[in-house]
Structure formats: C-alpha cells, structure tokens
Structure 1
C-alpha cells in the first residue's frame, strides 16, 4: 500500500499558519498510531521526510510533519517583523495542531515526537495537551542549560549563550541563518531560549503558568532516544529535561546514530537515516500496546 502525502493548514493564527504533511500508511478504520513530529530549532519539517516515511511504514500508521512557527513554510518570519516566543508555540500552535489531528484520526493513539528543541517544546506543550496524547517521544533532546554540558564543553556553551544575548539585543531579530545556529528567530523567542540556557529553568514570557511545576505533573509515558557523544544534546542535558517530568514513566534508549558523520552532524543526520530511531520507537509503542491490552483483559476479568 503506497504512502500518500496531503498538505493542509491547521494553525489557528492565519499569520502563523503553516503547511502540515501527512504520511499515511494505515488502512481505513485502522487503530494504528499517529505520530506528530516537531523539528529542531531552525530546521524545516521537510528535512524529516525520510524519518516520517519510515515511521509510518514501520507502524502501518500516520506520521505528521509540522513546521514550528517562523520556520520552514511558516510565513511568520522574524526578518519580516514577526514577534512571538515559546508561549504562542506551546500554548496555541501545538495544542491546536494536536486537536486537528485527533479529530481527523479519532480513536487512534497519538504520540508527540520532538527532536532537540522540538522535544523541549513538545514537553512544554504536553502541559496543555496531555489529555490528547498516548505518549511523548524525545529524540536527541535535552535542556539548553550550559551547566548540563560536560565540563570540557561548558565554556563553549556559556559563550554561545552570551553571544546570543549580545546579538539579540543589538539587532531587530536573531540572525541564526547567518550565524549557523538556530535559524532566524524573534527576540522574545530567543529570550525564552536564553533563560533556559542560562538557568536550566523554563520561564515563558507572556504566560502565567509555572512550567517547572506543571512539567512535574505531566503523567505520560515518555521514550527518550539519545545519541552517544551528542555535543548538542549531551547526557547531562537529557537527564535534566527528563528530571522535570517527574510524574512520567520514562524509558531511555541510546543509539550510535550515523557514525560516519562528525558528532555535530550526527545530531541531525539520524533523520535522513532513521532506521535505528524508528526501531526504538516501534519496539516501545508495541510494548506499550501489549501492556494496555493486558491491562484491559485483567480489568474485564476482574
């Protein structure tokens, strides 16, 4: 059965509306899973097409690719004056997207998959949308906190944070495409990123929610797929993010990634050669399906 792709727009804010690609490998009326995939900072969702296709095929399900606000096909570009931060993405965009996908595929297990910053934003969005989700999948994702990096790299991480602070204050927007880190982003978005990078905590401008406390209460199954020797999401950063999800049931897996690539490239290149990540997701979701089925049998027997 061939995979087909349909393009539509789900976001509620017309100025931020983005195209959404669906890779559907399921039969009509199937109950196979649906995965909504969020990209890393500055990366277009289309970069993950090989991953989405492989995941949909391996699960006989659906994989959805969506650009973050201001990235990829989104017209809300920082260089055109768009102003937004984490708040619009985690409290508006992602919950609206999940609502739309859940309505299109009712009764299907729905998983939120996030790579790098996409995993952070997905975790924060779960504060608002946990009722929609069957689980959260983090790939090469950890906090941006410079103190969570290995001691030998910590000075470089701190210098990056300070450079972002300086450039963001000097220019109308952060020119990440020019600097080679993070893509073009509005000042407020980078202020939210910088607060986490400086303190390890999430304090989101424009929101009254204490996300540190709210993350503690997110009681979802979580799969964390980590890359060995990843310089962008090192072990300490992943550990720090997972520690915030204190009520979650967490499974951690580690893979090598594309070993022919340099460590920095490995953080991204798994998406183009996704078999190892897909295998971990398939194993985890299948194990969860069996546990859910067994629990239902035991409940009915009682």
Structure 2
C-alpha cells in the first residue's frame, strides 16, 4: 500500500534538493528498510521511479528519491546563476535529507543508494550522516578518474576530461544538456568533478575537510553493484572508489544490466528495468538484517 502520494514533497529547500517518498509498502509500525536514492549527474530523480517502486515492494519497505541540487525538481539552476559545488551537496543537502528521513521513519534502517555521481556524493556525505545510516549501496558508481579506464579508451577519456574542464572554466556555466553529458551544471561543481577526473582524488572546493582522509574513517556495510563492460563506470573506477573506504565491510557484485541495450545505455537503463538490481540489493539487505539480529542476540546473551 502506498502511504504517501508520489507527488507529495516531504522535504524541500530552495537552496537544496527536493525529497519525495515515491513508494512506501511498509505496514504500520514495521521496521523494514528505507532506501534514499541519489541520481546520476544530470538525471532527474523521477527517472528512477520503476526502481523505487520495485525496491520498496520487494522488501515491504519504503524508497525515497531525491533530486540533486540543480537537477530535476530542484529550484536551483546553473543557467539562472546558481553557484554551488560538491560542498553544498555533501555537507548540507544530503545530511539534511537523511535527518528528514530519520524523522519521518524513526527506528528504521536507512540505506543510502547512489547511482554514478550520486554514489560518489553519497559516499562523501556518509562521513556526515553515517550514524543515521545502516549501509551504503553503490550502483554503477566509481571515481571519474580517466586513468582507471581500460587502456584502449584511456586517451579518449583524458581528452574528454580536458575538454569538459576547459568548457566549464570558460563559460558562465557548463552546458551539459547541449554537449550530451552531465546536464547543465555550475562551474564550481564541474571544477570539483574535473579534479577527481584528473587525479582520482576528492578535493571539495571551499571545505576545510580532507575528504581523502575522512573516507578512511567511515565504517559502514557497503554493497557495490557494477555493470559488466560499463564504459561510464568501468571496474577500475569502482575499485579506486572502494579502496578509499578502508574501514568499511565491502561486498562487490557484477550484474549484466539490460543486455539488449548498447553498453553506454546499460549504465542508465537498469533503473527502468530494475529486477536484477533489486534482487541483488534485497539479498544483501536481508543478509545485513540477519547479521544485525545475530549481533543483538549475542549482546543480549553476554
């Protein structure tokens, strides 16, 4: 049963993102999971509606979709002069979203699900929100570093990164809709993205936090779902991102995605035909729940 109307906004801020509970299949007083999903760069949260519905139904829980700042239903727009970067998203927006969900669903295990850039930003934000999270789920997500691409494509990736960096630096905003990559974004956000794409490291403009160091201290269960032959998030990109989470219990799985689609389309099309991803997440979350119950029982015995 859907408790909240899919169009109902539970959290909104002109300076942040828009939060919508899309599907809630929980029974009253249930303790089933709540998933907070962050989209890829330039993709509206509504694109993930089939995934949100299927996941909530599979676990008899709830799924929340959140637009990243400047995307989807967010009021901020780079074309209108909005200026922001990773710092506002990972230090303000996502922690506020998680706090809102904790209030809406008290006592429920909350998993942060991020696709592509949403996974990267969710990982960075986890250092601020870890106490409120039961785990982190990354779907087709890894660093943007060009050097982790397969050798045959690395030179193309290097050129693409330099072109994107130059365009974003010269123009008032990055015209991703025109260029076919990433959607329209502010210059500072693209500077943060470009730094990671060139170096593999995270440097958040305007922040005093050393995120490379801070990522080592996050201690959460992590599930990484990687799409085979994904040219947007190759295996090396996931490896590089996960290597930064030295204190996390990480499980990696590979999936096929929508095999009839071209390789680059499979990076996105899983969200429209989500059965494979939903099955993997459901299996992993149930294992996490069993582990948590065993730990509680052991503590009670002691």
Q: Could you say which TM-score interval applies, normalised by the shorter chain?
A: over 0.9
For normalisation by structure 2, the TM-score amounts to 0.97
Structure 2 matches for 1:3-152, cutoff 5 A? 4-6=4-6, 7-11=8-12, 13-152=13-152
Distance apart, 1:17 and its partner CA: 4.6
State the match for 2:165 in structure 1. Answer: 165
Classify 1:169/1:8 alpha carbon distance in 2 versus 1 (closer, same or farther; 3 Å). same
Q: Deviations over 1:214-268 (max 9, x none)?
A: 0010000000011000000000000000000010000001110000000000000
- Contact kept? 1:82, 1:186, Cα under 8 Å: yes
Distance apart, 1:10 and its partner CA: 2.0
Distance apart, 1:204 and its partner CA: 0.5
State the match for 2:209 in structure 1. Answer: 209
Stretch moving more, 268-277 or 287-296: 287-296
Stretch moving more, 152-161 or 17-26: 17-26
Cα distance in 1 between the residues matched to 2:231 and 2:76: 30
Q: Deviations over 1:180-228 (max 9, x none)?
A: 0000000000000000000000000010000000001000000001100
For normalisation by structure 1, the TM-score amounts to 0.97
Residue 217 of structure 1: SS of its match in structure 2? coil
Cα distance in 2 between the residues matched to 1:104 and 1:22: 14
State the match for 2:192 in structure 1. Answer: 192
Cα distance in 2 between the residues matched to 1:22 and 1:272: 15
How many residues matched? Answer: 301
State the match for 2:154 in structure 1. Answer: 154
Residue 23 of structure 2: SS of its match in structure 1? strand
Structure 2 matches for 1:255-294, cutoff 5 A? 255-294=255-294
- Contact kept? 2:14, 2:76, Cα under 8 Å: no
- Contact kept? 1:142, 1:239, Cα under 8 Å: yes
Distance apart, 1:96 and its partner CA: 0.1
Distance apart, 1:67 and its partner CA: 0.3
Cα distance in 2 between the residues matched to 1:245 and 1:107: 26
- Contact kept? 2:39, 2:114, Cα under 8 Å: yes
Distance apart, 1:298 and its partner CA: 1.6
Distance apart, 1:20 and its partner CA: 2.1
Q: CA RMSD in A?
A: 1.1
Distance apart, 1:5 and its partner CA: 3.1
Structure 2 gaps of 5+ residues are: none
Residue 5 of structure 1: SS of its match in structure 2? coil
